[in-house]
Structure 1
């Protein structure tokens, strides 16, 4: 193994890619083989980006939420075919927006119910949680906005399409978080702590920032030559209410924490701690391709060049054609990314786990994820 080229590549990110701080950790054959940090969590105060740096996962949260839901499927408490309204009755009688030839829209009753599998695979047609009814509910609670209350309110909005027919990257996994709360009788955070974070050994991962002094600044359009950003601060509304826990994007974490979780999935559900959080057959079900036809075309348009060769499984991209992506990873490699550049690669057949982290808004991070992956693979092969 030789990580010189990967290290040199990462060291160029500050000036060449305008990324203030970067972290990467890797497992090979279920052993940690590489961990590297460069740049800063706080540029002005010269605080290094390191293993104790906390950052937002954004949509890398989704892989954890979907794992939580599949634990409930394993235990028999939920089925993929179950209708959403069995858990949240407000979703029983949904309407769908239909585009008419004259350009207007017509609302029609949905012909099929939303299922748990539709939520996992982003084929439910639910659009957003920032709806008039959700805002009313949040205001009525004095800004508290409990997750389940907000998701119930979202049911008043029409669907974008008939459930199961198309792919649309929306708030489906936030809805999954609400279902988990209904089934378990616990807040999403409490369930994850008991069944994922605790068993895996993730001590810094949560929906609330545990230590602000360790939090990487949220730089927007950082310039590595001037060492300045257009602005610093959050640009996404991840908490419409104070109590809201977004299963789609709300978690904070660190590189050492998240790579433990990713390695657990790479080892078919067995954590480095020795605790099992999923069965091998469930991990294979997670990465099984779910999109075909129009839904796959939707995903291809959404993902662009960075996700060519991939389809979508139960909350993860899944590699179906390595050559189409110029990928060194193997068919069935899976994972996801996050809005400020986090990127996870989980490849059970190659026995490779990779987690890359950055926290910068404005950079085209999706353009170099494939290069990070290929440099990493080339380092061990």
Structure 2
């Protein structure tokens, strides 16, 4: 194994890609083989980006949330074909938006119920929590806006399309978080702590920032030449209320924490410390493509070149045609990414786990994720 080229490539990111700091960790054949950090978590104070740096996962959170729901699936707590309204009754009588030939909109009753599988696969038609109904619920709770209360309010908004007919990347996994709360009687965060974070030894991962002194600054459009950014701070609405735990994008983590989680999925649910969080057949179900031909077309339009060759499973992209992505990973490789650039590759066939982290909004991170992946694979051959 020789990681010199990968390291040299990552070390260019500050000056050539305007990325304040990055971290990468990798397992091969279920052993840690690489960990590298470059740049800064705080440029102004010259604090290096490191294994102690805490950052937001954004949508890389989704893989964790879906894993938690699949644990409940294994326990027989629900079936993928179950209607959502059996657990959250507010979703029983949904309306669907239809655009007429003259451009006007008409609302019609949904012909099919939203199923739990529709939530996993982003085919439910549920769109957003930036609605008047959600704002009322948050205001009435003095700004708390708990996860379940917000998701119940979302049900008052019409669906974008008939459930199951299309793919649209929205808050479906936030709804899964609320579903988990109904099934378990726990908050999403407490369930994750008890059933994933504590068993795996993920000491720095949660919905609450555990140590602000280690938190990466949220740079927006960073400029390496001037060492400044257009702004610093949150630019995404992750919490409509203070108590909202965002199953689609709200977790904080570190590189050492998340690579433990990803490696566990790569080893079919068996963690490096011997804990099992999923069965092998469940991991295979997670990474199996689930989209209809029409939904697959939607996914390809949404994902663009970075998702060429991929389909979508139970909350993860899954590689179905490696040639279309110029990928060195094997078909069946799966994972996801996040809004400020985090990226996870889980490849059970090749026994490769890779996690790349950055915390910068504005960079086209999706254009270099595949290059990082291929350099990593080339390093072990």
RMSD: 0.4
TM-score (norm 1): 1.00
Q: Give yes or no for the alignment of 1:2 onto 2:2.
A: yes
Partner of 1:43: 43
Q: CA deviation at 1:273?
A: 1.2
Separation of aligned partners in 2, 1:129 and 1:79: 26
Secondary structure of the residue aligned to 1:305 is helix
Separation of aligned partners in 1, 2:275 and 2:25: 21
Partner of 1:330: 330
Separation of aligned partners in 2, 1:202 and 1:294: 39
Q: CA deviation at 1:130?
A: 1.1
Alignment of 1:120-269 (within 5 A): 120-269=120-269
Partner of 2:58: 58
Q: How many residues align?
A: 381
Separation of aligned partners in 1, 2:113 and 2:213: 46
Separation of aligned partners in 2, 1:330 and 1:3: 20
Q: CA deviation at 1:226?
A: 1.4
Deviations 1:218-250 (A, max 9, x none): 000001111111110000010110000000000
Partner of 2:15: 15
Deviations 1:79-128 (A, max 9, x none): 11111001100000001001111101110000000011000000000000
Partner of 2:312: 312
Q: CA deviation at 1:292?
A: 2.6
TM-score (norm 2): 1.00
Deviations 1:158-197 (A, max 9, x none): 0000111100000000000000000000000000001100
Separation of aligned partners in 2, 1:190 and 1:75: 18
Deviations 1:123-143 (A, max 9, x none): 000000111000000000000
Partner of 1:287: 287
Q: Give yes or no for the alignment of 1:370 onto 2:374.
A: no
Q: CA deviation at 1:290?
A: 0.6
Deviations 1:266-325 (A, max 9, x none): 000001110000000000000000113110010000000110000100000000000000
Separation of aligned partners in 1, 2:157 and 2:281: 36
Separation of aligned partners in 1, 2:343 and 2:224: 21
Separation of aligned partners in 2, 1:182 and 1:39: 42
Q: CA deviation at 1:376?
A: 0.2
Secondary structure of the residue aligned to 2:366 is helix
Separation of aligned partners in 1, 2:264 and 2:130: 34
Partner of 2:278: 278
Partner of 1:345: 345
Separation of aligned partners in 1, 2:316 and 2:132: 30
Deviations 1:10-59 (A, max 9, x none): 00000000000000000000000000000000001010000000000000
Separation of aligned partners in 1, 2:95 and 2:216: 42
Secondary structure of the residue aligned to 1:2 is coil
Separation of aligned partners in 2, 1:292 and 1:27: 33
Separation of aligned partners in 2, 1:154 and 1:38: 41
Separation of aligned partners in 2, 1:254 and 1:130: 29
Partner of 2:355: 355
Separation of aligned partners in 1, 2:358 and 2:326: 23
Separation of aligned partners in 1, 2:57 and 2:197: 15
Runs of 4+ that moved beyond 6 A: none
Secondary structure of the residue aligned to 2:284 is helix
Separation of aligned partners in 2, 1:165 and 1:313: 15
Secondary structure of the residue aligned to 1:106 is strand
Structure 2 unaligned spans of 5+: none
Separation of aligned partners in 2, 1:73 and 1:126: 22
Separation of aligned partners in 2, 1:11 and 1:185: 46
Separation of aligned partners in 1, 2:227 and 2:240: 32
Structure 1 unaligned spans of 5+: none
Q: Give yes or no for the alignment of 1:115 onto 2:120.
A: no
